């Protein structure tokens, strides 16, 4: 048996097809949970993912053997870094891979970090809260989504924003919000 094959490896990833495969497997959990008119299949097409890469989203991934099992992106957006597209293959969830990738991104960033997710994705909100993020109120959420994200209006209305630690206060002090 090749023991090295089983050691999870964290690395940068830019293969749109491979990233999409992880996202689309994990995104099945949204079916019937997010608003019906926001659900589509595939949840993320390779073309849409390619656009995200061109817009500056940088992905980290975890591979085991030859399989990519988790991905998490971050996107520098001026005064902030955004966490974008955090997905772990369903059979690998709740094993600390999400946390490992989040910590990797924290290590890379010196900016206030924000993350947006579906308001109905209670598990994801819990995941971020357990990792030092704080949910912002609807007024601040709407303002931040408008300032730092480029997502459809319908998605804005169904989303929440969480800030890492004192990220929101830092942005306020800097006059960014
Ligand atoms: C959210 C996600 C990225 C977290 O990655 P992960 O590797 O599963 O998370 P970790 O193992 O580091 O942390 C686990 C914690 O996250 C939360 N959590 C993750 N998945 C959960 C689920 N299905 N149900 C309830 N809580 C969940 C819990 O607080 C959990 O702690 P617990 O197992 O002690 O209850 C991953 O579960 C996932 O891909 N979910 C589906 C897609 C999604 O919602 N993505 C978020 C987009 S912003």
Domains of the chain: residue spans and CATH? 3-173 (3.40.630.30)
Instruction: Quote the CA–CA distance of 123 and 95 in Å, as a whole number.
Output: 14
Whole-model pTM: value is: 0.96
Instruction: Quote the CA–CA distance of 80 and 105 in Å, as a whole number.
Output: 13
Using DSSP, state whether 1 is helix, strand or coil: coil
Identify the pLDDT of residue 6.
Answer: 75
Identify the pLDDT of residue 4.
Answer: 52
The CA 86 to ligand 1 mean position distance, Å, reads 9
Q: Is the CB of 121 under 6 A from ligand 1?
A: yes
Q: Is the CB of 95 under 6 A from ligand 1?
A: yes
- Average model confidence (pLDDT) across the chain: 95
**Could you tell me the CA-to-CA distances from 76 to 53, 95, 127 in Å, in that order?**
12, 27, 22
Residue 79: pLDDT above 80?
Answer: yes
pLDDT (mean) for 141-160: 94
């Amino acid at each position: 048996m090749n023991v090295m094959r089983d050691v999870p490896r964290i690395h940068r990833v830019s293969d749109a097809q491979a990233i999409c495969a992880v996202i689309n497997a994990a995104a099945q959990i949204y079916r019937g949970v997010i608003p019906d008119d926001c659900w589509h299949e595939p949840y993320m097409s390779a073309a849409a993912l390619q656009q995200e890469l061109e817009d500056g989203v940088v992905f980290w991934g975890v591979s085991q053997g030859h399989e990519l099992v988790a991905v998490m992106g971050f996107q520098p957006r001026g005064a902030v870094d955004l966490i974008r597209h955090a997905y772990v293959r369903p059979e690998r969830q709740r094993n600390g891979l999400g946390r490992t990738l989040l910590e990797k991104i924290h290590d890379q960033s010196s900016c206030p970090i924000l993350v947006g997710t579906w308001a109905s994705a209670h598990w994801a909100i819990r995941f971020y809260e357990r990792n030092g993020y704080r949910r912002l109120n609807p007024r601040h959420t709407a303002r931040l989504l408008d300032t730092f994200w480029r997502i459809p209006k319908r998605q804005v209305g169904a989303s929440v924003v969480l800030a890492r630690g004192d990220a929101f206060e830092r942005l306020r002090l800097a006059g960014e919000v």
